[in-house]
Amino acid sequence: MSFTNPLLDAWSRGDDTLGVWCQLPSSTAMEMIAGVGFDYACLDMQHGLIDYPDAVPMLQAARAGGVTPIARVPANDAGTIGKILDAGAMGVVVPLVNTPEQAARAVAACRYPPVGQRSFGPIRAGMLIGSRDPQELQKVACIVMVETQEGLDNVEEIAAVDGLDAIYVGPSDLAIGLGMAPGYEREEPAHVEAIERIRQACAAAGIAAGIQTDRGDMARRRLDQGFAMVTVGHEAGFMKRMAQQELDTARGG
Protein backbone atom coordinates (compact mmCIF):
# COMPACT_ATOMS: atom_id res chain seq x y z
CA MET A 1 0.00 0.00 0.00
CA SER A 2 1.24 3.48 -0.86
CA PHE A 3 2.67 5.58 1.98
CA THR A 4 0.77 8.74 2.96
CA ASN A 5 2.53 11.58 4.75
CA PRO A 6 0.01 12.93 7.29
CA LEU A 7 1.09 16.55 6.83
CA LEU A 8 1.00 16.50 3.05
CA ASP A 9 -2.30 14.65 3.15
CA ALA A 10 -3.85 17.23 5.49
CA TRP A 11 -2.67 20.18 3.40
CA SER A 12 -3.92 18.58 0.19
CA ARG A 13 -7.38 18.39 1.79
CA GLY A 14 -7.19 22.00 2.94
CA ASP A 15 -7.00 21.01 6.62
CA ASP A 16 -5.17 22.97 9.30
CA THR A 17 -2.29 21.45 11.25
CA LEU A 18 -1.12 22.49 14.71
CA GLY A 19 2.34 21.70 15.98
CA VAL A 20 4.86 22.05 18.76
CA TRP A 21 8.49 23.19 18.51
CA CYS A 22 10.99 21.01 20.39
CA GLN A 23 14.21 22.60 21.60
CA LEU A 24 15.30 20.24 24.37
CA PRO A 25 17.34 17.10 23.60
CA SER A 26 15.04 14.66 25.38
CA SER A 27 13.20 11.64 24.03
CA THR A 28 11.20 11.54 27.26
CA ALA A 29 10.03 15.11 26.74
CA MET A 30 9.10 14.16 23.19
CA GLU A 31 7.08 11.18 24.45
CA MET A 32 5.17 13.47 26.80
CA ILE A 33 4.48 16.21 24.27
CA ALA A 34 3.63 13.76 21.47
CA GLY A 35 0.75 12.36 23.49
CA VAL A 36 -1.00 15.73 23.78
CA GLY A 37 -2.47 15.56 20.29
CA PHE A 38 -0.41 17.90 18.12
CA ASP A 39 -0.35 17.16 14.40
CA TYR A 40 3.41 17.61 14.15
CA ALA A 41 6.45 18.07 16.33
CA CYS A 42 9.43 19.96 14.92
CA LEU A 43 12.90 19.18 16.22
CA ASP A 44 14.81 22.46 16.21
CA MET A 45 18.33 21.59 15.11
CA GLN A 46 19.14 25.20 14.23
CA HIS A 47 18.59 27.14 17.45
CA GLY A 48 17.54 24.34 19.79
CA LEU A 49 19.90 22.10 21.76
CA ILE A 50 19.25 19.05 19.56
CA ASP A 51 21.99 17.35 17.55
CA TYR A 52 21.74 14.21 15.39
CA PRO A 53 22.43 11.70 18.21
CA ASP A 54 19.63 13.38 20.20
CA ALA A 55 17.31 13.51 17.20
CA VAL A 56 17.15 9.78 16.45
CA PRO A 57 15.61 8.70 19.79
CA MET A 58 13.33 11.74 19.65
CA LEU A 59 12.08 10.62 16.24
CA GLN A 60 11.44 7.19 17.71
CA ALA A 61 9.53 8.73 20.62
CA ALA A 62 7.47 10.85 18.24
CA ARG A 63 6.42 7.77 16.31
CA ALA A 64 5.47 5.99 19.52
CA GLY A 65 3.36 8.99 20.54
CA GLY A 66 1.59 9.21 17.20
CA VAL A 67 2.78 12.68 16.15
CA THR A 68 4.36 13.44 12.76
CA PRO A 69 8.00 14.47 13.30
CA ILE A 70 9.75 17.07 11.19
CA ALA A 71 13.03 18.89 11.76
CA ARG A 72 14.36 22.39 11.26
CA VAL A 73 17.84 21.84 9.89
CA PRO A 74 20.69 24.27 10.63
CA ALA A 75 21.16 25.30 7.01
CA ASN A 76 20.22 24.61 3.40
CA ASP A 77 22.68 21.75 3.09
CA ALA A 78 21.86 18.61 1.10
CA GLY A 79 23.87 16.30 3.33
CA THR A 80 22.22 17.52 6.52
CA ILE A 81 18.75 17.41 4.99
CA GLY A 82 19.21 13.90 3.61
CA LYS A 83 20.60 12.57 6.87
CA ILE A 84 17.65 13.64 9.02
CA LEU A 85 15.16 12.42 6.39
CA ASP A 86 16.92 9.05 6.31
CA ALA A 87 16.59 8.94 10.10
CA GLY A 88 12.81 9.20 9.80
CA ALA A 89 11.83 12.87 9.77
CA MET A 90 8.73 13.31 7.63
CA GLY A 91 9.75 16.78 6.53
CA VAL A 92 12.33 19.51 6.90
CA VAL A 93 12.10 23.21 7.64
CA VAL A 94 14.96 25.00 5.87
CA PRO A 95 15.90 28.40 7.31
CA LEU A 96 16.92 31.64 5.60
CA VAL A 97 15.72 30.91 2.08
CA ASN A 98 15.93 34.19 0.18
CA THR A 99 15.67 33.29 -3.51
CA PRO A 100 13.84 30.79 -5.72
CA GLU A 101 17.20 29.21 -6.50
CA GLN A 102 17.79 28.51 -2.82
CA ALA A 103 14.27 27.09 -2.53
CA ALA A 104 14.91 24.83 -5.51
CA ARG A 105 18.09 23.60 -3.82
CA ALA A 106 16.11 22.64 -0.72
CA VAL A 107 13.54 20.79 -2.83
CA ALA A 108 16.31 18.93 -4.69
CA ALA A 109 17.77 17.76 -1.37
CA CYS A 110 14.41 16.17 -0.50
CA ARG A 111 13.79 14.37 -3.83
CA TYR A 112 15.65 11.63 -5.65
CA PRO A 113 16.89 11.80 -9.25
CA PRO A 114 15.79 12.60 -11.85
CA VAL A 115 13.78 15.37 -10.15
CA GLY A 116 16.20 15.97 -7.27
CA GLN A 117 19.66 15.19 -5.91
CA ARG A 118 18.96 13.27 -2.71
CA SER A 119 21.39 10.44 -2.06
CA PHE A 120 19.86 7.01 -1.45
CA GLY A 121 20.32 5.41 1.98
CA PRO A 122 17.04 5.25 3.95
CA ILE A 123 18.52 3.61 7.04
CA ARG A 124 15.42 4.18 9.19
CA ALA A 125 12.99 5.89 6.84
CA GLY A 126 12.55 2.78 4.72
CA MET A 127 11.53 0.77 7.77
CA LEU A 128 9.09 3.44 8.93
CA ILE A 129 7.17 3.74 5.69
CA GLY A 130 7.50 0.08 4.80
CA SER A 131 9.24 0.67 1.48
CA ARG A 132 12.62 1.48 -0.04
CA ASP A 133 11.00 2.78 -3.21
CA PRO A 134 12.38 6.29 -3.88
CA GLN A 135 8.93 7.41 -5.02
CA GLU A 136 7.56 6.57 -1.59
CA LEU A 137 10.56 7.78 0.40
CA GLN A 138 10.46 11.23 -1.15
CA LYS A 139 6.94 11.92 0.12
CA VAL A 140 8.38 14.28 2.70
CA ALA A 141 7.40 17.88 3.33
CA CYS A 142 9.85 20.44 1.98
CA ILE A 143 9.22 23.65 3.91
CA VAL A 144 11.35 26.76 3.53
CA MET A 145 11.51 29.78 5.80
CA VAL A 146 11.06 33.32 4.52
CA GLU A 147 12.39 35.55 7.26
CA THR A 148 14.40 38.35 5.64
CA GLN A 149 13.72 41.41 3.49
CA GLU A 150 15.33 39.67 0.52
CA GLY A 151 13.16 36.61 1.00
CA LEU A 152 10.08 38.81 1.27
CA ASP A 153 11.00 40.62 -1.93
CA ASN A 154 11.18 37.25 -3.72
CA VAL A 155 8.35 35.44 -1.93
CA GLU A 156 6.06 35.05 -4.93
CA GLU A 157 8.86 33.46 -6.96
CA ILE A 158 9.88 31.26 -4.02
CA ALA A 159 6.31 30.02 -3.53
CA ALA A 160 6.10 29.07 -7.21
CA VAL A 161 9.12 26.71 -7.06
CA ASP A 162 8.07 23.28 -8.27
CA GLY A 163 7.99 20.66 -5.51
CA LEU A 164 7.85 23.09 -2.60
CA ASP A 165 5.18 22.14 -0.05
CA ALA A 166 5.07 25.12 2.31
CA ILE A 167 6.61 28.41 3.32
CA TYR A 168 7.11 28.96 7.06
CA VAL A 169 7.29 32.45 8.55
CA GLY A 170 9.77 33.21 11.28
CA PRO A 171 8.10 36.37 12.64
CA SER A 172 10.97 37.46 14.88
CA ASP A 173 13.68 37.15 12.25
CA LEU A 174 11.36 38.82 9.77
CA ALA A 175 10.89 41.69 12.21
CA ILE A 176 14.65 42.09 12.59
CA GLY A 177 15.02 42.01 8.82
CA LEU A 178 12.51 44.84 8.57
CA GLY A 179 14.43 46.94 11.11
CA MET A 180 12.26 46.17 14.14
CA ALA A 181 12.74 44.46 17.48
CA PRO A 182 11.99 40.72 17.37
CA GLY A 183 8.45 39.64 18.13
CA TYR A 184 5.80 37.16 17.10
CA GLU A 185 3.10 39.79 16.56
CA ARG A 186 4.42 43.25 15.86
CA GLU A 187 1.91 46.09 15.49
CA GLU A 188 3.92 47.94 12.84
CA PRO A 189 2.05 47.89 9.50
CA ALA A 190 5.17 46.74 7.65
CA HIS A 191 5.35 43.57 9.73
CA VAL A 192 1.63 42.87 9.50
CA GLU A 193 1.67 43.42 5.73
CA ALA A 194 4.78 41.28 5.24
CA ILE A 195 3.22 38.28 6.97
CA GLU A 196 0.01 38.66 4.99
CA ARG A 197 2.00 38.94 1.74
CA ILE A 198 3.70 35.63 2.48
CA ARG A 199 0.38 33.98 3.24
CA GLN A 200 -1.13 35.27 0.03
CA ALA A 201 1.85 34.09 -2.01
CA CYS A 202 1.36 30.59 -0.62
CA ALA A 203 -2.36 30.69 -1.39
CA ALA A 204 -1.70 31.79 -4.96
CA ALA A 205 0.83 28.98 -5.45
CA GLY A 206 -1.38 26.33 -3.85
CA ILE A 207 1.03 25.49 -1.04
CA ALA A 208 0.64 25.61 2.74
CA ALA A 209 1.45 28.76 4.70
CA GLY A 210 3.12 28.15 8.05
CA ILE A 211 4.04 30.37 10.96
CA GLN A 212 5.55 30.28 14.44
CA THR A 213 3.52 31.46 17.43
CA ASP A 214 4.03 31.40 21.17
CA ARG A 215 0.59 30.78 22.68
CA GLY A 216 -2.72 29.17 21.92
CA ASP A 217 -4.61 32.43 21.44
CA MET A 218 -1.97 33.65 19.01
CA ALA A 219 -2.12 30.35 17.13
CA ARG A 220 -5.90 30.69 16.87
CA ARG A 221 -5.52 34.14 15.29
CA ARG A 222 -3.09 32.77 12.70
CA LEU A 223 -5.47 29.93 11.84
CA ASP A 224 -8.26 32.45 11.40
CA GLN A 225 -5.95 34.49 9.16
CA GLY A 226 -5.59 31.49 6.85
CA PHE A 227 -2.33 29.80 7.90
CA ALA A 228 -2.51 26.01 7.56
CA MET A 229 0.65 25.10 9.51
CA VAL A 230 0.72 26.81 12.89
CA THR A 231 3.16 26.05 15.69
CA VAL A 232 1.47 26.73 19.03
CA GLY A 233 4.73 27.17 20.94
CA HIS A 234 7.79 25.30 22.18
CA GLU A 235 7.98 22.76 24.93
CA ALA A 236 10.54 24.73 26.95
CA GLY A 237 8.22 27.75 26.98
CA PHE A 238 5.23 25.62 27.98
CA MET A 239 7.22 24.12 30.84
CA LYS A 240 8.51 27.46 32.09
CA ARG A 241 5.11 29.16 31.95
CA MET A 242 3.35 26.34 33.75
CA ALA A 243 6.05 26.17 36.42
CA GLN A 244 5.79 29.94 36.95
CA GLN A 245 2.01 29.76 37.16
CA GLU A 246 2.04 26.99 39.72
CA LEU A 247 4.73 28.70 41.78
CA ASP A 248 2.79 31.98 41.76
CA THR A 249 -0.35 30.10 42.86
CA ALA A 250 1.53 28.40 45.67
CA ARG A 251 2.82 31.77 46.86
CA GLY A 252 -0.67 33.19 46.81
CA GLY A 253 -0.12 35.42 43.79
Residues assigned a catalytic role: 47
Helices (H), the chain: 6-13, 27-34, 52-65, 78-86, 100-110, 125-129, 134-137, 149-153, 155-159, 171-177, 189-205, 216-225, 235-250
- What does the alpha-carbon distance between residue 101 and residue 189 come to, in Å, rounded to a whole number? 29
Long-range contact set of residues 131-136: C-beta below 8 Å, sequence gap at least 24: 131/3, 136/2, 136/3
CA–CA distance from 139 to each of 2, 5, 110, 225, 239 (Å)? 10, 6, 9, 28, 33
Q: What is the DSSP letter of 89?
A: -
Give the DSSP H/E element, type plus range, for residue 20.
Answer: strand 17-22
Are the beta carbons of 85 and 110 closer than 8 angstroms? yes
Q: How far apart are CA 118 and CA 213, in angstroms?
A: 31
Q: Tell me how far apart the terminal alpha carbons of the chain are, to the nearest angstrom.
A: 56
Cβ atoms of residues 155 and 198 within 8 Å: yes
